[in-house]
Amino acid sequence: MEKYAFVARVPDQPGALHRAAEIISRYQGNINRIQFDRRIDSHTVFFEVTSTAEARRAISNGLLGLGYLQTALKPLNFLKLSVHIPHAPGALLDFLECTTSFRANIALIDFDDRGRNPDLLTVSLNLEETAAVSSLLDQLKSRYRMEVLEYDTSGKHLDDTVFYLRFAQAIRGLVDESEDAFLLTLLGDINHIVQELMNRGQDPRLVFESILLTGETLRDTKGARFYADLQQIRLADDLTLVCIQPPCGGNVFLLDTPGECVMVDTGYGIYHHDISTLIRNHIPGALERLSRLIITHADADHCGAGGHYPVPALMHSGTMDIIRVSNRAYGSRSQSSILEEVYTTLINLFSRFCPPRDTILLSPSGDAMRGRFPILATLEVGTHRFEVLEGMGGHLHGQIYLTSRELGVFFSADTVINFDHLTAERSRYNTLAVNLVTSVNVDSERAREERAELLGLVRETTGPFYEKREGCLICGGHGPVSILKERSLLPFGRIIHLPPPGEGCSA
């Protein structure tokens, strides 16, 4: 027995869904999931079925015979017309008989003989075949005075009676993969999280909007529209800390010494070229000195550009497991969550996920602890010693921290973030993920406990530079490098705002 999914496009008429279910039942298929909501799309039904391979072929053939099984996402042709029809009995019927003969589906019709134009009919039509558009127009022009108001073959103007087709065309423009079979599978996955979130009371429109905005925001903030915030902090005479905040997602840090440069997290893959250009322009020679990466956790905004750098990446073995299975909830109690699994697929696609290839994996060993966090390893960066700590799995399984008590610096990944000093644009982008997975932490209760423990360590980390800086530097996964003042995180030092290329920078 095997489980598989497919998309059906059924006619909007009584008994249509029953006929599809009857075919599945006839060949002993078991329906594990079905979702249809005419408020979203009056024709599209999503199925997940368990059956034998032989039965699967029979079910597919049966649905194909009915014309139900959707195997392609061919864009419909959209046509909007204004037509002058005679003011006589049967005139509208004659017009509709003409459009029906060309298998045109009416999406909108507007006519009122008491209006300002008593003979003017406005109509929007969807047609499957491009050739039928020309034939229909020729037929109508021979009978009526008319004007073509809109004609579109891209799918952008389709109405919500074909919502999923329109949505698929939008997704097609955001991902590298555009084959219909791939997009149909992706649509099924997206529908699954929509179904789950609707059952939790979420508005499906917000879900679809959040998915598209995630992809569009990433697409629209790279290249000529890329911008960043930059901090450069001298930790010691021979060590500079660099923090780069890209438009979306996690920070990229550099620990730069005269002999080597270590990158802590890489940002999204889609920003690789832009971040590399920024580093070359503002930290000359750093990329040439790059010796290794340290990956704090497996989210795409922290490791998604790792494969672009020809140096080894140090990470927790659990991080590699998450990358391998493509499910950010792996190793947590929410591991079976369809929300986390599909979100991982989507964000990896939108962000051009390219994780590290040459990896050095860390696993728990020994009893050495820093507070409640196991010490996984000690590292030398130039002449300075850092500890790698294992997190508790609140945000993500396998998340690690990097700290130096001597230097008074703590890389807290996504456990401690300076949310209050994120820009409005970055805050809005972060909200999109919450709309899709309800919480970015795979274990919210443990994440709260972990944050309290980590801040306890931060308060204990003084170091020789503590008095000068008035606190341990916290390098959070998002937001500026900060210090802890009582219960507030305050940005430390100068922040340079680097706007899109061609615009002047500011501090």
Q: Which of 377, 430, 374, 381 is nearest to 409 (CA)?
A: 381
Closest-CA residue to 250 (of 225, 281, 228): 228
User: pLDDT by residue (tens digit) across 442-501?
Assistant: 999 999 999 999 999 999 876 555 555 668 999 999 999 999 988 899 999 999 999 997
**Which regions of the chain carry the CATH code 3.60.15.10?**
223-498
**pLDDT tens for residues 239-281?**
999 999 999 999 999 999 999 999 999 999 999 999 999 999 9
DSSP string covering 407-420, please?
TTEEEEETTS--GG
- The pLDDT of residue 468 is 59
pTM, to two decimals? 0.86
Cα separation, 193 vs 198, whole angstroms: 8
* CATH topology (fold) of 223-498: Metallo-beta-lactamase; Chain A (3.60.15)
Q: Mean pLDDT for the chain?
A: 92
* CATH superfamily of the 2-66 domain: ACT domain (3.30.70.260)
CB-count burial class (<10 Å; 0-12, 13-18, 19+) for 153: middle
472 and 466 Cβ atoms separated by less than 8 Å:
yes
Highest mean pLDDT, choosing among 194-208, 283-297, 456-470: 283-297
CA distances from 490 to 38, 414, 474, 493 (A): 49, 17, 10, 10
10 Å Cβ neighbour count for 12?
Answer: 10
Q: Which residues contact 359 (CB under 8 A, 6 or more apart)?
A: 312, 313, 314, 315, 320
Reported as a single tens digit per residue, the pLDDT across 86-118 is: 888 888 899 999 999 998 888 889 888 776 778
Where in the sequence of the chain do the CATH 3.30.70.260 domains occur? 2-66, 77-152
Interatomic CA distance for residues 484 and 507, integer angstroms: 22
Contact assessment for residue 464 and residue 408, using Cβ atoms and an 8 Å cutoff: yes
Looking at residue 68, the DSSP 8-state letter turns out to be -
Task: Give the tokens for residue 239.
Answer: 């060590």
Return the residue matching tokens 């922040």: 495
Alpha-carbon gap, residue 41 to 412, rounded angstroms: 44
- pLDDT tens digits, 402-458: 999 999 999 999 999 999 999 999 999 999 999 999 999 999 999 999 999 999 999
Start-to-end Cα distance in the chain = 62
Do residues 144 and 83 touch, judged by C-beta distance below 8 A? yes
Please tell me whether residue 382 adopts helix, strand or coil conformation: coil
Give me 269's structure tokens: 């893959």
pLDDT at 158: 45
Could you tell me the fold of the domain covering 77-152? Alpha-Beta Plaits (3.30.70)
pLDDT for residue 49 is more than 60:
yes
The residues, ordered by sequence, that sit 6+ positions from 409 with a Cβ below 8 Å of its Cβ are 235, 241, 403, 463, 472, 473, 475
pLDDT digits (tens, 9 = 90+) for 389-400: 999 999 999 999
Tokens of 207: 């879900």
* Mean pLDDT computed over 51-66: 96
- Contact status, residue 83 vs residue 140, Cβ threshold 8 Å: yes
What tokens does 277 get?
A: 């250009």
Q: Which two tokens stand for residue 362?
A: 């860390």
425, 482 Cβ separation under 8 angstroms:
no
Determine what percent of the chain is predicted with pLDDT higher than 90: 74
At 367 the pLDDT is 83
Q: Say yes or no to pLDDT of 155 above 80.
A: no
